Amino acid sequence: MGKIDFNQPHLTGRETKYILDAVSKKKISGNGYYTKLCQNFFESKYNFNKCLLTTSCTDALEMAAILINIQPGDEVIVPSYTFVSTANAFILRGAKIIFADSTNYNPNIDCEQIAALIGPKTKAIVVVHYAGISCDMEKIRELADKRNLYVIEDAAQAIDSFYSDLNGKKRPLGSIGHLAAFSFHETKNIISGEGGMLVINDLTFCDRAEIIWEKGTNRSSFFRGEVDKYGWVDIGSSFLPSELIAAFLYAQLEDLDTIQTKRKLIWQQYLSNLREWADYKNILLPILPDYATNNGHLFYIVHVSEAKRNGLINSLKAKGISSVFHYQSLHNSVYFKSTYTGVPLPNSEMYTERLLRLPLHFDLSTEDVDRVCQTIIESE
Amino acid sequence: MGKIDFNQPHLTGRETKYILDAVSKKKISGNGYYTKLCQNFFESKYNFNKCLLTTSCTDALEMAAILINIQPGDEVIVPSYTFVSTANAFILRGAKIIFADSTNYNPNIDCEQIAALIGPKTKAIVVVHYAGISCDMEKIRELADKRNLYVIEDAAQAIDSFYSDLNGKKRPLGSIGHLAAFSFHETKNIISGEGGMLVINDLTFCDRAEIIWEKGTNRSSFFRGEVDKYGWVDIGSSFLPSELIAAFLYAQLEDLDTIQTKRKLIWQQYLSNLREWADYKNILLPILPDYATNNGHLFYIVHVSEAKRNGLINSLKAKGISSVFHYQSLHNSVYFKSTYTGVPLPNSEMYTERLLRLPLHFDLSTEDVDRVCQTIIESE
């Protein structure tokens, strides 16, 4: 029996054609034809106010930290169960990170605990829509608005997923915070190897975002004919990706609906196949709150113990199936542990110890998924 | 008569073949097969101690600023006649920039003036090898070593160029400072659209450089089997480019010698064609100090006045030839001007007003170069 990879980059077949086209346009540095196509795609499909492609989701988060003008000593509330960049992007600007716990039913930030973490120095709440499943955005916006805090969505995993507000209106993830960051890393639904995007929902950030993106210059204004030469007007970095990356990405975006349909079918198949077994074994499967949708980004189980989880990884591996754990809790990291003074974060630690991600990619067949599920059920 | 572009990205023809190959290896995120090929290429051809590809030269400079541990208030000496990123990379870490003037014979930093700019808070001197022509590196290292300062080479334009030391030993630019940053932006000799590389000559930075490059994690150690899981150990960012970029870059690097030979011929043709005219008109052409080589990156003239320079741009434009000025002096920028308290920097301002870059790219014919020169001579 063949191996089943945890992830495989999926190609639409047009990626290199568009790269060749970008090259033939004699413009392969950033902010060209394909960059604009990608940005327009998101602005029109999801009604995002303004989008800027970046070299990574990390870089989009760094842009957010600069835009909200983080100063040394400012506090930013971040879930502990996330990738290091969610915190590092703000630390690079001098922020103190206040780690929050996850809920006990999914790895998203526990809104009930946020209020206690807000202090006079708090500047922003960063939420991570884990597995593309929405955090409780109205609660978070309410908490933030009351205290005049920024909300940043780390939407790395959350492309094409939605939050239904109390009026039943479905809002795309990435459109609810003041700013949002997406990832197109090769492990995501839509990929460009490395890559990301900043979404600017709060229009007051638009002009400065463009400047920071272009290394702190007003080059974009210059090309629109608004100024007669461009120069240094702000801090900034080279956040914009090559057109090679944007061309690749655009080929992917054209197939977004096909990719999403397939991934969601795989996700549903896992859920149906494992439901009965999981309930019997007290194993947690992804829970979708009423307000959230699933985007087929990742399927996980939360086992009953770390030992059982690790045992299952090995059993699957023995059968040629690759499954992987996820984040190390950041408050317990080598970098942060000695300075962490907050309360225990037991749910974050639980997901660190017990969460397991199963293979999920476009080229997985229904037989593959059945085989993974069967192997899991037989291993236990 | 056809148009003559200032720059055109040159292709070797293998770029998309290698991109397809990277894709077929199912690994298009960073730090894969082609990234290693590129890094090895530089390490073996130029004997650089350690190289790390980055998403831009800007990002390589930002890594340098993190590695030398810039703290708020530290001072960094930077030429005013350079791209914004040479300064911004250090400002992002809290540095105060002390701007230095250029020499009166080329835009490189004037070593005679550096000593007066060094104070108790100075941490580093950043040199820019303008047009790929070396700064006076022994003088700079001597000044720096005496005061225990770091030397960072902004070698954005300086691929395959050399400095001859007092013993007559030719040392590649990028190998002399503690750290160096290269660019592969589409305007450079070797391109990947956007792209860059950090060179780590001071071995004490190697381990940390790898960590900062991988978002502040010890992922590289993990893949070498040195630790059993990887986690957050430092600040960092997503500095590493996609394999798509590295694959494209490698195709270029394989043709480095061919590209360099052609570009240097064009450069020499400009020099011979314009020598007599320039001397007669008191127009400055590039001057190569005894210790420096030319790498065919860019050919410039320094006209007698801003009005004459701008007039020449227009005359050339009328004949379908694109020529462009270069940097705005950073100490005079919108961002910096109001806080600049240093001495006047007349040479930097002179190059801002009077320097003009002529078309130079691989696909330029000798007839094209003759036509540019003839048009210049006839315009005056």
B280: domain CATH number is: 3.90.1150.10
CATH code at position A87: 3.40.640.10
On whether any CB of chain B is under 8 Å from the CB of A359, the answer is no
Q: Are residues A246 and A156 in the same domain?
A: yes
On whether any CB of chain A is under 8 Å from the CB of B29, the answer is yes
On whether any CB of chain A is under 8 Å from the CB of B248, the answer is yes
> Is there a domain that residue B6 lies in?
no
Looking at beta carbons, which pairs linking A213-221 to residues 24 or more positions away fall under 8 Å? A213/A52, A213/A54, A213/A63, A213/A239, A213/A240, A214/A31, A214/A240, A215/B58, A215/B83, A215/B84, A215/B85, A215/B88, A216/B84, A216/B88, A216/B335, A217/B84, A220/A31
Neighbour tally for B287: CB within 10 Å: 11
On whether any CB of chain B is under 8 Å from the CB of A227, the answer is no
Name the minimum distance, in Å, from the CA of A7 to any CA of chain B.
Answer: 9
User: Mean pLDDT score of chain B, rounded to an integer?
Assistant: 97
On whether any CB of chain A is under 8 Å from the CB of B123, the answer is no
- The H or E element spanning position A75 is strand A75-79
Tokens 């992830």 belong to which residue?
A7
Q: How far apart are CA B137 and CA B373, in angstroms?
A: 33
Pairing between strand B299-302 and B355-358? Answer: antiparallel
**Chain B residues within an 8 Å CB radius of A83:** 215
Q: Are residues B23 and B115 in the same domain?
A: yes
Tell me the residue range of the domain where B319 lies. 256-379
Tokens 């057109």 belong to which residue?
A243
Q: How far apart are CA B151 and CA B135, in angstroms?
A: 12
Name the minimum distance, in Å, from the CA of B227 to any CA of chain A.
Answer: 13
On whether any CB of chain B is under 8 Å from the CB of A229, the answer is yes
Structural domains of chain B, count: 2
The predicted structure's pLDDT at residue B221: 87
Give the end of a domain, one of A223, A254, A285: A254
Q: Is the pLDDT of residue B380 over 90?
A: no
Q: What is the pLDDT of residues B79-99, one digit of tens each?
A: 999 999 999 999 999 999 999
Q: Among A342, A345, A315, A306, which Cα is nearest to A329's?
A: A345
Taking an 8 Å cut-off on Cβ atoms, the answer to whether A57 and B238 are in contact is: yes
Q: Are residues B134 and B185 in the same domain?
A: yes
Q: Are residues B230 and B361 in the same domain?
A: no
Q: Is the pLDDT of residue B153 over 80?
A: yes
In degrees and rounded to multiples of 5, residue A360 shows phi and psi of -155, 105
| Among the partner residues B11, B85, B237, nearest to A62 by beta-carbon distance | B237
| Range B49-65 average pLDDT | 98
The predicted structure's pLDDT at residue B132: 98
The predicted structure's pLDDT at residue B223: 85
Q: Are residues A190 and A309 in the same domain?
A: no
Residue in chain A lying closest to B234 (CA): A335
Percentage of chain B beyond pLDDT 70 is 100
**Chain B residues within an 8 Å CB radius of A234:** 335
Q: Is the pLDDT of residue B222 over 90?
A: no
Taking an 8 Å cut-off on Cβ atoms, the answer to whether A15 and B23 are in contact is: yes
Q: What is the pLDDT of residues B346-366, one digit of tens each?
A: 999 999 999 999 999 999 999
Q: How far apart are CA A248 and CA A194, in angstroms?
A: 11
Please report which confidence band the pLDDT of residue A225 belongs to, taking 50, 70 and 90 as the band edges.
confident
On whether any CB of chain A is under 8 Å from the CB of B194, the answer is yes
The predicted structure's pLDDT at residue B226: 85
Taking an 8 Å cut-off on Cβ atoms, the answer to whether B235 and A91 are in contact is: yes
Q: What is the pLDDT of residues A364-375, one digit of tens each?
A: 999 999 999 999
> Is there a domain that residue B375 lies in?
yes
Contact at 8 Å (CB) between B209 and B52? yes
Taking an 8 Å cut-off on Cβ atoms, the answer to whether A192 and B244 are in contact is: yes
Contact at 8 Å (CB) between A302 and A104? no
The predicted structure's pLDDT at residue B224: 86
The predicted structure's pLDDT at residue A46: 98
Q: Is the pLDDT of residue A1 over 80?
A: no
Angle, helices B206-213 vs B57-67, to 10°: value is 130
Angstrom distances, CA of residue B166 to CA of A41, B126, B139, B170, B291: 58, 21, 10, 10, 8
Q: Is the pLDDT of residue B1 over 80?
A: no
On whether any CB of chain B is under 8 Å from the CB of A73, the answer is no
In three-state secondary structure terms, B345 is coil
The predicted structure's pLDDT at residue A380: 78
Q: Is the pLDDT of residue A26 over 90?
A: no
Q: Are residues B266 and B131 in the same domain?
A: no
**Chain A residues within an 8 Å CB radius of B243:** 193
| Among the partner residues B19, B84, B195, nearest to A215 by beta-carbon distance | B84
> Is there a domain that residue A264 lies in?
yes
Residue in chain A lying closest to B7 (CA): A26
Taking an 8 Å cut-off on Cβ atoms, the answer to whether A84 and B215 are in contact is: yes
On whether any CB of chain B is under 8 Å from the CB of A154, the answer is no
Q: Is the pLDDT of residue A197 over 80?
A: yes
Q: What is the pLDDT of residues B114-133, one digit of tens each?
A: 999 999 999 999 999 999 99
Higher-confidence residue of B222 and B328: namely: B328
Taking an 8 Å cut-off on Cβ atoms, the answer to whether B56 and A55 are in contact is: yes
Contact at 8 Å (CB) between B130 and B108? yes
Which amino acid would we find at residue A251?
A: A
DSSP label at A250?
A: H
How many residues does the structure list for chain B?
Answer: 380
Q: How far apart are CA B204 and CA B178, in angstroms?
A: 10
Percentage of chain A beyond pLDDT 90 is 94
Q: Are residues B27 and B67 in the same domain?
A: yes
The predicted structure's pLDDT at residue B333: 97
| Among the partner residues A8, A29, A88, nearest to B237 by beta-carbon distance | A88
Taking an 8 Å cut-off on Cβ atoms, the answer to whether A19 and B16 are in contact is: yes
Q: How far apart are CA B205 and CA B207, in angstroms?
A: 6
**Chain B residues within an 8 Å CB radius of A62:** 237
Q: What is the 3-state secondary structure (H, E, C) of A286-346?
A: CCCCCCECCCCCCEEEECCCHHHHHHHHHHHHHCCECCECCCCCHHHCCCCHHHCCCCCCH
**Chain B residues within an 8 Å CB radius of A243:** 193
Q: Are residues B175 and B140 in the same domain?
A: yes
The predicted structure's pLDDT at residue A222: 86
DSSP label at B109?
A: B
pTM exceeds 0.90, yes or no? yes
Q: Are residues A72 and A131 in the same domain?
A: yes
Taking an 8 Å cut-off on Cβ atoms, the answer to whether A55 and B57 are in contact is: no
> Is there a domain that residue B2 lies in?
no
Q: Are residues B340 and B196 in the same domain?
A: no
Q: Which of A4, A28, A221, A327 to mutate to test the interface with B (most CBs of B within 10 A)?
A: A28
Q: What is the pLDDT of residues A91-138, one digit of tens each?
A: 999 999 999 999 999 999 999 999 999 999 999 999 999 999 999 999
Interface subset of B 93-112, CB within 8 angstroms of A = 94
Give the end of a domain, one of B208, B236, B254: B254
Taking an 8 Å cut-off on Cβ atoms, the answer to whether B58 and A215 are in contact is: yes
The predicted structure's pLDDT at residue A215: 97
The predicted structure's pLDDT at residue B227: 84
> Is there a domain that residue B301 lies in?
yes
Percentage of chain B beyond pLDDT 90 is 94
Angstrom distances, CA of residue B75 to CA of A34, A216, B14: 40, 20, 44
Q: Are residues B303 and B236 in the same domain?
A: no
> Is there a domain that residue A4 lies in?
no
Q: In the A/B pair of chains, how many CB contacts fall below 8 A?
A: 188
In degrees and rounded to multiples of 5, residue B34 shows phi and psi of -75, -30
User: Mean pLDDT score of chain A, rounded to an integer?
Assistant: 97
| Range A287-300 average pLDDT | 97
> Is there a domain that residue B324 lies in?
yes
Name the minimum distance, in Å, from the CA of B114 to any CA of chain A.
Answer: 23
> Is there a domain that residue B263 lies in?
yes
The predicted structure's pLDDT at residue A211: 97
Q: Among B209, B239, B258, which Cα is nearest to B48's?
A: B209
**Chain A residues within an 8 Å CB radius of B20:** 16
Handedness of CA B349, B350, B356, B361 (dihedral sign): negative
Contact at 8 Å (CB) between B254 and B40? no
Give the end of a domain, one of A254, A281, A296: A254
Q: Which of A5, A12, A67, A84 to mutate to test the interface with B (most CBs of B within 10 A)?
A: A84
Interface subset of A 52-71, CB within 8 angstroms of B = 55-59, 62
On whether any CB of chain B is under 8 Å from the CB of A289, the answer is no
The predicted structure's pLDDT at residue A230: 87
Q: Are residues A262 and A246 in the same domain?
A: no
Q: How far apart are CA B6 and CA A372, in angstroms?
A: 57
Q: What is the pLDDT of residues B265-292, one digit of tens each?
A: 999 999 999 999 999 999 999 999 999 9
DSSP label at B301?
A: E
